[in-house]
A = this chain, B = another copy of it.
Amino acid sequence: MPVKLIQSTPSAYTYPLLIKQLLHTPLATAPDQEISYRGGLRYSYREFRQRLGRLANTLSALGVEAGQTVAVMDWDSHRYLECFFAVPMMGAILQTVNVRLSAEQILYTLNHAEADVVLVNEEFFPLLASIAPRLKRVRHFVLISDEAAPKAAPVTLAGEYEALLGAAAADYDFPDFDENAQATVFYTTGTTGEPKGVYFSHRQLVLHTLSLASALGTAPGQGRMHREDVYMPITPMFHVHAWGFPYLATMLGLRQVYPGKYMPDSLLRLIREEKVTYSHCVPTILHMLLTHPHTAEVDFSGWKVVIGGSALPQAQAIAAMKRGIDLFTGYGMSETCPVLTLANLNSADLELATEAQATLRAKTGRPMPLVDLRVVDPHMAELAHDGAATGEVVVRTPWLTQGYLRAPEASEHLWDGGYLHTQDIGHIDARGFLKITDRIKDVIKTAGEWTSSLALEDVVGKHEAVHEVAVIGVPDEKWGERPLALVVLKPDFDGKVTEHTIRNFSAHLIEATGISRHGVLLQVQFVQALAKTSVGKINKRAMREERLG
Interface string of A155-167 (1 = CB under 8 A from B): 0000000000000
Which B residues lie within 8 Å of A448 (CB)? none
CA distance A370 to B24 in the complex (A): 6
* B25 engages A371 (CB within 8 Å): yes
Complex: A210 Cα to B398 Cα, angstroms:
13
Segment among A79-87, A225-233, A260-268, A285-293 that sits at the interface with chain B: A225-233
Asked if A367 and B3 sit within 8 Å, CB to CB, the answer is: no
Q: Range of interface residues on chain A?
A: 35 or more
Tell me the bound Cα distance from A179 to B402 in angstroms: 18
- Selecting from A8-16, A454-462, A501-509, the interface stretch reads A8-16
Q: Cβ of A418: which chain B residues have Cβ within 8 Å of it?
A: 11-13
Query: Are the C-beta atoms of B10 and A412 separated by less than 8 Å?
Result: yes
Inter-subunit contact B368/A5 (CB<8 Å): no
**Residue of chain B at shortest CB distance from A65:** B2
Is A251 located at the chain interface by the 8 A CB criterion? yes
Most B-side CB within 10 Å, residue of A213, A221, A397: A213
Kindly state whether residue A175 has any CB partner on chain B within 8 Å: yes
Candidates B6, B369, B416; contact of A210 at CB < 8 Å:
B369
* Interchain CB contact under 8 A, A217 and B213: yes
Minimum distance in angstroms from A384 CB to a CB of chain B: 12
Is A544 an interface residue when CB atoms closer than 8 A count as contact?
no
The CA of A249 and the CA of B27, in the complex, are separated in Å by 28
Asked if A178 lies at the interface with its beta carbon under 8 angstroms from chain B, I say: yes
Expressed in whole angstroms, the Cα–Cα distance for A6 and B10 within the complex equals 27
A201 close to B (CB within 8 Å)? yes
A376 to chain B, nearest CB (A): 14
What 0/1 pattern do residues 202 to 240 of A give for CB contact below 8 A with B? 001011001101101111110011111000000000000
Interface status of A327 (Cβ within 8 A of chain B): no
Q: Any chain B CB within 8 A of the CB of A385?
A: yes
A419 touches B13 (CB 8 A): yes
Taking CB atoms, residues of chain B closer than 8 Å to A252 are 214, 218
A547 at the interface (CB under 8 A from B): no
Known contacts A1-B177, A175-B1, A226-B224, A25 near B367 by CB under 8 Å: yes
**Bound form: Cα–Cα A371–B2 in Å:** 31
Contact of A415 among B9, B30, B218 (CB under 8 A): B9
Q: How far is the CA of A29 from the CA of B434 in the complex (A)?
A: 10
On whether the beta carbons of A25 and B369 are closer than 8 Å, the reply is yes
User: CA of A281 to CA of B9 in the docked complex: distance in angstroms?
Assistant: 32
Which residue on chain B has the smallest CB distance to residue A175? B1
Q: Does A67 sit within 8 A of B, measured CB to CB?
A: yes
Q: Which B residues lie within 8 Å of A38 (CB)?
A: none
A110 within 8 A of B: no
When distances are taken between beta carbons in the complex, the residues of chain B under 8 Å from A251 are 214, 369
A411 close to B213 (CB less than 8 A): no
Within 8 A of B (CB), among A97-145: none
Sample 8 A-B pairs with CB under 8 A, ordered by A number: A1-B66, A4-B181, A5-B182, A6-B182, A6-B199, A13-B396, A217-B226, A220-B228
